[in-house]
Amino acid sequence: MTSAKTGGLTHLDAEGRARMVDVSAKPATAREAVATGFVRMAPATLALAVSGGGKKGDVRAVAEIAGVMGAKRTSDLIPLCHPLALTKARVTVNVAEGGLEVIAEVRTAGPTGVEMEALTAVSVACLTLYDMLKAADRGMVIEGVRLLEMTGGASGDWRAP
């Protein structure tokens, strides 16, 4: 239930208290979300990340695994998220101009979307990259974490402009 008091926010009840949305009456549908983020770093740090020669190993592979783990644990981190049975969680770390781009694709068949899982996957992967490379470059910047698209459910499909 939303009201003028909640401003249409679904995670607030009529009195303005936080609540988990009841999705029990919603049909299970195929849902997917794609999110992205970027870790900007010095050229020497990027070269170290790409070479796989860092002290902590292949930073991109570890960040990809960490991102998948983050997607799976989203409801443990975000208080009002529903625990979901994910059918796909794929995180890729790609070399881009000025740093590393992270992309997460998450899928489920259920009554609620997976955009929070995709955003969490990207965030955890970016934080992992920072952690693994911070000895070389504490000036790295995590930026541009955002939802690119989501499909499925009553709200329909959405894509970032």
The verdict on residue 55 lying in a domain is: yes
The verdict on residue 125 lying in a domain is: yes
Among candidates 83, 97, 107, 87, which has minimal Cα distance to 35? Answer: 107
CA–CA separation, 41 and 110 (whole Å): 38
The verdict on residue 5 lying in a domain is: no
The verdict on residue 12 lying in a domain is: no
Catalytic residue ranges: 131
The verdict on residue 23 lying in a domain is: no
The verdict on residue 11 lying in a domain is: no
CA–CA separation, 135 and 77 (whole Å): 27
Instruction: Judge whether residue 1 has pLDDT over 50.
Output: no
The verdict on residue 54 lying in a domain is: yes
The verdict on residue 1 lying in a domain is: no
Instruction: Judge whether residue 94 has pLDDT over 70.
Output: yes
* Residue 112 lies in domain: 29-154
Cβ atoms of 130 and 140 within 8 Å: the answer is yes
| Chain-centre distance for alpha carbon 110 | 18
- Residue 6 has what pLDDT? 44
Instruction: Judge whether residue 77 has pLDDT over 50.
Output: yes
CATH number, domain with residue 135:
3.30.70.640
pLDDT digits (tens, 9 = 90+) for 96-149: 999 999 999 999 998 888 999 999 999 999 999 999 999 999 999 999 999 999
Rg (CA), the chain: 18
Instruction: Judge whether residue 83 has pLDDT over 70.
Output: yes
> For the chain, what is the domain count?
1
